[in-house]
Structure 1
Amino acid sequence: MSRFRMYPTPAQQDALIDQCRHARSVWNLALEQWSMWTRDKGPTPRFPEQCRQLTEARAVFGWLRAGSNTVQQQALRDFDQAVKSFYAGTHRRPTWRKAGLHEGFRIVGAQAIRIEQVSRKWAQVLVPKVGWVRFRTSRAIPAAKSYRVTRDRAGRWHLAFAAIPEPIRASGAGRIVGVDRGVAVSAALSTGELLSCPGFSDRELERLKHLQRRLARCRPGSNRRLRGKMAIAKLYARARDRLKDWAEKVSTDLARRFDVIRVEDLHIPHMTRRPKPKPDPERPGAYLPNRRRAKARLNRGILANGWGALVRRLEQKAPGRVEKVRPAYTSQTCSVCGHCTPENRKSQAVFRCVACGHQAHADANAATNIAAGRAVGARRETPVRVSPKREPQHATSA
């Protein structure tokens, strides 16, 4: 999607919040009807019947009638599509929308094309029941038939058009690059480049710790706690913007410079799972140390370096040119002679081959192996013991 930052007035912000509240209420009501299905009852209402019920509800309740019928019907249509996607197996089960977390609504149809360019940097969109809202044109406005208005936890409003941009063309030089993702170095290229994703600064970390301590002393439900949560959300939003900006710039640069981009086939959700508790057999009800503090720190480092965002944007900008390589032993294999042993990795950043003496940055050496596809055929130093008198076996034999 092409997303733009919106700058509504205080009165428009209140109207937008009401529209988000109406869309969220209609979605949750539809989800409640769908969740009440049992085998002994009839089928739950579908989209046409829910639209008729919405018309009856708007005639009874004034707060619902004050909102836009387009926004409310579109929430029902989105829920109907979510249910179909769930039954098709392409998406997860629809969940409840919460205030402050899922704030947004969608506009589709003729009302979605009411956009005017005010100046070179500013434009405005006509939102139903709200009026003309300004937004910053950081790029060309795409030709889309729908858009979505959202509000993040930091209180910022965004306008996203449902338009898929054209993929980046390959350079045609036949260049191949390998990308090794890490924690100390966010992305190491086979060309020797070491890229680091910007995160929190030292001053921001001190302020974050101060705000978290202040938040712990606030009374639940108070305005002071709400202001503290908003201040913390702004810090996290700033760091998240830096991560997205870094992923966009790096993915665009790689898609333009190289024809084939090879990355490790990593399962990030599995890598960032919590360690399972270890029961103590000698003390019933007690548990052994499982190093969950160290694992939590590693998980934060993985997520803060944008591993998934970088590969996801590469696949979108360079479709068909991103290859995933098996990551086994890429950090222990020499990129010059192919010798594989754990002793090659002297430290986190130093790689020195014990066979040929090749020395390089450990992440850059792993990226070179990924670019060559050497990780697929990587073996350990100790060979498999097979009798030399054994006859050659066919690959299809048991």
Structure 2
Amino acid sequence: MSRYRLYPTPVQAAGLLAQCGHARYVWNLALEQWSMWRHDKGPAPSSVEQARQLTEARAAFGWLSGGSQTVQQQALRDFDQARRSYYAGSHRRPKWRKAGRNEGFRIVGPQAGRVEQVSRTWARVLVPKVGWVRFRVSRALPDARSYRVTHDSVGRWHIAFAATRDPIPAPGNGEIVGVDRGVTVSAALSTGELLTCRGLSESEQRRLGNLQRRLARAQPGSNRRRRVKAAIAKLHARAADRRKDWVEKTSTDLARRFDMIRVENLRVAQMTKRPKPKPDPAKPGSYLPNRRRAKAGLNRGILASGWSLLVRRLEDKAAGRVQKINPAYTSQTCSRCGHCAPGNRENQAFRCQSCGHSDHADVNAAINIAAGRAVTARRDKPVRMSVKREPQLTTSA
């Protein structure tokens, strides 16, 4: 996607919101028909039958006919594609679209080509039933046959053109880099560089805490609660923008500098799950402490560093040049002599108990990742020296 910031007028914004509501209504109605299917009933309506039903609904309801038929028909096509992808096993089950969270619609076909660049920094697009809407040209406009208009929780409008960009070519220098992802240091490179994803500042975090306390005291459905929620959403959107910006710049820099990029093969979705409750055997119906508050803080730190997004963007930009390494004991193994012991690492410092090598713990792990080293659950590693020989300080990584 090539996304740009859209700047509609107040009248155009109202029209775009109405289009989002129509697309959401059609999507949810198609999802409801599909969800009602049972083995003892007839098949769910096909996409052709749903298109015919949409024509009848537009003739019966004026609020629906006031919208764009192109937007509504495309919502049906998008749902049909999502349903097919679910049956094919490539995507998850289609979900309900909620107002204020999944706002957007898609334009495909000849109408998507009605884009004009007005000046060096501004362009405009002809949206059905809305008119010409301008957007900021932050990069060259791609040659796309479809685009999607979205509205986030902060009130910003964006337009994203579906265009596949070519991967970044390899520099051809033969260099390999290892990337160790962490919480204190977002990404440590085997070259010794420590990269940190900048989130909210201390003053912004204090403001977020104050807003969350005000939200807890606000009455449900009040205007004060709505304003506080909007302010909280603005801070979260600011942090998300900084995280995405850091990921894009970091992934582009790594793809341009190195021929091979090696990362840990981490299952981030499983790592950020909440801990299971521990029933108290002595007191039925009671539970033992499971440190869920500490786990919640760790999950926030992992998600704030953009672990999954960084690897995904590296695979997009450096296609075929990203290798995933088994992360077992890479942080406990000395990158110089290969000695593996839990006592080697002390928080962010690493000191080998065998050869005395000291380094930053994340940098040491990144060097092991760059070398492709990993051990099994029994802690046996690929033999790089004789097992009967004392560790040598001159052994390089």
TM value normalised by structure 1? 0.94
- Determine if contact 1:188/1:367 at 8 Å carries over to the other structure: yes
Show the counterpart of 1:375. Answer: 374
Residue pairs, 1:64-143, within 5 angstroms: 64-143=64-143
Deviation, structure 1 residue 224: 2.2
Corresponding residue number in structure 2 for 1:179: 179
Read off the aligned partner of 2:18 and give its amino acid letter: D
Match of 2:28 in 1: 28
Q: CA deviation at 1:357?
A: 1.1
The DSSP-based 3-state class of the residue aligned with 1:310 is helix
CA RMSD of aligned residues (A): 1.3
Quote the residue 2:278 is aligned against.
278
**Partners in 1 of 2:328 and 2:275 — Cα distance?**
22
1:200 matched residue in structure 2: 200
Once the two structures are superposed, the pairs formed by residues 54-73 of structure 1 within 5 Å of their partners are 54-73=54-73
- 8 A contact 1:325–1:376 mirrored in 2: no
**Residue of structure 2 equivalent to 1:163:** 163
Instruction: Tell which deviates more after alignment, 87-96 or 71-80.
Output: 87-96
The 5-angstrom pairing of residues 10-49 of structure 1 reads 10-49=10-49
Contact 2:328 2:376 in 1 (8 A): no
The answer to which of 52-61 and 40-49 deviates more is 40-49
Equivalence for 2:391: none
Structure 2: runs of 5+ lacking an equivalent: 382-397
Deviations 1:258-299 (A, max 9, x none): 000000000001111111111111111111111111111111
Q: Tell me, yes or no, if structure 1 residue 305 matches structure 2 residue 316.
A: no
Does residue 352 of structure 2 align to residue 357 of structure 1?
A: no
For the structure 1 residues 177 and 360, does the alpha-carbon distance in structure 2 shift closer, same or farther, using more than 3 Å as the test?
same
Give the corresponding residue for 2:6. 6
CA distance in 1, matches of 2:47, 2:224: 42
SS of the residue corresponding to residue 166 of structure 2 reads coil
**Residue of structure 2 equivalent to 1:260:** 260
Correspondence for 1:389: none
Contact 1:179–1:188 (Cα < 8 Å) also in 2: yes
| The 10-residue stretch of structure 1 (31-40 or 62-71) with the greater mean CA deviation from structure 2 | 31-40
Q: CA deviation at 1:32?
A: 1.0
Map 1:277-296 to 2 at 5 A: 277-296=277-296
AA partner of residue 19 (structure 2): Q
Instruction: Work out the CA distance in 1 between the residues paired with 2:79 and 2:136.
Output: 30
CA distance, structure 2, for counterparts of residue 131 and residue 348 of structure 1: 58
Match of 1:343 in 2: 343
Q: Could you say what secondary structure the match of 1:360 adopts?
A: strand
Distance 1:46 1:176 in 2: 51
Tell me how far apart the structure 2 counterparts of residues 135 and 73 of structure 1 sit (CA, whole Å): 25
Which deviations, in whole Å up to 9, do the C-alpha atoms of 1:31-83 show, x marking residues without a partner? 11111112222111111111111111111100000000000000000011111
1:40 is paired with a residue of what secondary structure? Answer: coil
How far is 1:379 from its partner? Answer: 6.2
Deviation at 1:376, TM superposition (A): 4.7
Q: Does 1:329 find its partner at 2:329?
A: yes
For 1:72 and 1:191, locate their aligned partners in 2 and report how far apart those are by CA, in whole Å: 52
**Inter-partner Cα distance in structure 2 for 1:133 and 1:186:** 39
Alpha-carbon contact 1:333-1:378 (below 8 Å) kept: no
> What do the CA deviations read for 1:299-322 (whole angstroms, capped 9, x no partner)?
111101111111010000001100
Residue of structure 2 in register with 1:249 after alignment: 249
Deviation of the 1:217 alpha carbon: 2.0
Indicate conservation of the 8 Å contact 2:262/2:370, yes or no.
yes
Residue 65 of structure 1 aligns with an amino acid whose one-letter code is: S
The alpha-carbon distance between structure 1 residues 378 and 350, as it changes in their structure 2 partners (threshold 3 A), is farther
C-alpha displacement of 1:219: 2.0
Aligned residues: 381
CA distance in 1, matches of 2:192, 2:291: 34
Query: Are the aligned partners of 2:264 and 2:326 in contact in 1 as well (CA < 8 Å)?
Result: yes
Q: CA separation in 1, counterparts of 2:146 and 2:225?
A: 36
- CA gap 1:25/1:351 in 2 versus in 1, 3 angstroms: same
SS across alignment from 1:12: helix
Deviations, residues 358-382 of structure 1 (Å, cap 9, x unaligned):
1111100000000001115796489
In structure 1, stretches of 5+ residues that fail to align are 383-398
Cα distance, 1:221 vs. partner? 1.9
Please give the alpha-carbon distance, in whole angstroms, between the structure 2 residues aligned to 1:109 and 1:187.
41
TM-score (norm 2): 0.94
SS of the aligned residue for 1:172 comes to coil
Alpha-carbon contact 1:167-1:316 (below 8 Å) kept: yes
Tell me the SS of whatever aligns to 2:237: helix
Q: Following the alignment from structure 1 to structure 2, what is the Cα–Cα distance between the partners of residues 361 and 160?
A: 41
Preserved CA contact (<8 Å) 2:329 2:375 = no
